[in-house]
Homo-oligomer: A and B are copies of this chain.
Amino acid sequence: MLLYSDEYFMNEAFKEARMAMSEDEIPIGAVIVFNNRIIARAHNMTEKLNDVTAHAEMLAITSAASAMGGKYLRDCTLYVSLEPCPMCAGALAWSQISKIVYAAPDDKRGYHLFGENLLHPKTIVECGIMKETSIEMMQEFFRKKR
């Protein structure tokens, strides 16, 4: 079986982030992978849905649980363009997801600022993959907003 790389999946998360940007949403995208296959993809929709809970990760978790036919996401990996906030980290903890890979840290609302223990103790975290692309996307978005 051809195994896709972390970069491949992160790039798919970036595609979602770009969709958010084209809809005038803060450009954050996520995919959830099980067995080398994307089972959920989502982007930030807080403005469109008028709902602070509609972060890319939250929508992806709901969608992945539906695809898995169970609410736990053990053996799944989340790829997300920005570090999850405490709300999303809390949801990821409940899901017992195996692994989280995020591109850029969020120095304002990233969960690490509030405590590493927000995640499930068994969840593995990797960060920094394609970080620059994510940062550039965010900068582009906020530059346009000014």
Contact = CB atoms under 8 A, between A and B. Distances in A.
A22 interface: no
A131 to B, nearest CB: 23
Count of chain copies? 2
Contacts of A72: 52
Given A114-B115, A114-B117, A114-B118, A65 B87 contact: no
Contact of A87 (B46, B50, B70, B87): B87
Contacts of A118: 86, 114
A47 to B, nearest CB: 8
Residue in A61, A62, A69 with the greatest tally of chain B CB atoms within 10 Å: A62
Contact of A52 (B47, B50, B89, B91): B91
